[in-house]
């Protein structure tokens, strides 16, 4: 399938899935990410409904793995993940529908960030990432290098990863001018060598 996206490709498809794709846990990973410490379980227990508790449990597990949040409905959660959480933490509780409010979703994000010492993506984060991109582009102008530097910076600073398009936009802003300047210098240098 041909990619018709006009944005700069900063990660390979496999890397993009690894950093931004919906988690695809095996049994061992489920046993790692969906086994909750006391403080994590306390946060889950405070949720007002079974749906909210399950969403919170899934979000915590996915956050521990990916350091980002996902919007999902019941049918989007892999059956094995849902079965693991239901059988381990909510045995015998029926789950027919699945809906939480936007308010609950945003409240859970804030609470999970606080629990793990992370900051949500913000304007301030955007400025920090732009400054980091300016430094990175001085070392290497390849989009993949810069993307990895920025993702590493976000993890080190404990900032929730922004959407992939934000990463692409930063690359376009920083790499584009640098490539033009490089080409201009290269053309000037090569024409003076003739």
> Residues 103, 162: one domain?
no
109: helix, strand or coil = helix
> Residues 62, 21: one domain?
yes
Enclosing domain of residue 183:
123-192
> Residues 90, 176: one domain?
no
> Residues 20, 98: one domain?
yes
User: Cβ-count burial of 175 within 10 angstroms (0-12 exposed, 13-18 middle, 19+ buried)?
Assistant: buried
List residues bridging with 119 in a β-sheet. Answer: 159
Alpha-carbon gap, residue 32 to 151, rounded angstroms: 23
Residue with the two structure tokens 């498809």: 13
pTM over 0.75: yes
Alpha-carbon gap, residue 130 to 170, rounded angstroms: 7
Looking at 100, 116, 132, the residue that finishes a domain is 116
Local confidence pLDDT in tens for the 194 residues of the chain: 444 455 556 777 888 777 778 899 999 999 999 999 999 999 999 999 898 999 999 999 999 999 999 988 777 889 999 999 999 999 988 877 777 889 999 999 999 999 999 999 888 888 888 888 888 888 888 877 888 888 899 999 999 988 877 777 766 665 554 444 444 443 444 444 44
Q: Has residue 8 been placed in a domain?
A: no
Looking at 116, 134, 149, the residue that finishes a domain is 116
Kindly give, in sequence order, each residue whose CB lies less than 8 Å from that of residue 30, ignoring residues fewer than 6 positions away. Answer: 61, 80, 81, 84
Is the CA virtual torsion 60, 10, 180, 187 positive or negative? Answer: positive
Give the chain's domain count: 2
Looking at 116, 147, 165, the residue that finishes a domain is 116
Kindly give, in sequence order, each residue whose CB lies less than 8 Å from that of residue 113, ignoring residues fewer than 6 positions away. Answer: 119, 120, 160
> Residues 70, 149: one domain?
no
Q: Has residue 17 been placed in a domain?
A: yes
CA proximity to 153, closest of 109, 121, 114, 179: 121
> Residues 141, 107: one domain?
no
What token pair was written down for 75?
Answer: 């049918």
> Residues 31, 72: one domain?
yes
> Residues 112, 17: one domain?
yes
Q: Has residue 187 been placed in a domain?
A: yes
List residues bridging with 159 in a β-sheet. Answer: 119
What token pair was written down for 9?
Answer: 């490709």
> Residues 29, 52: one domain?
yes
């Amino acid at each position: 399938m041909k990619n018709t996206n006009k944005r700069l490709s900063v990660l390979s498809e496999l890397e993009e899935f690894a950093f931004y794709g919906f988690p695809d846990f095996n049994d061992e990973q489920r046993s790692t990410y969906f086994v909750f410490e006391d403080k994590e379980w306390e946060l889950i227990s405070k949720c007002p409904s079974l749906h909210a508790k399950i969403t919170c449990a899934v979000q915590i597990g996915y956050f521990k793995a990916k350091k980002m949040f996902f919007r999902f409905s019941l049918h989007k959660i892999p059956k094995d993940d849902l079965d693991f959480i239901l059988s381990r933490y909510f045995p015998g509780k029926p789950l027919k529908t699945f809906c939480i409010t936007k308010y609950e979703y945003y409240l859970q994000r804030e609470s999970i960030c606080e629990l793990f010492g992370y900051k949500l993506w913000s304007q301030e984060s955007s400025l920090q990432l732009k400054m980091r991109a300016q430094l990175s582009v001085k070392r290497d102008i390849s989009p993949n290098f810069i993307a990895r530097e920025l993702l590493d910076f976000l993890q080190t600073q404990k900032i929730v990863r922004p959407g992939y398009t934000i990463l692409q936009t930063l690359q376009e802003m920083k790499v584009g001018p640098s490539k033009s300047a490089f080409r201009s210098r290269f053309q000037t240098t090569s024409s003076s060598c003739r």
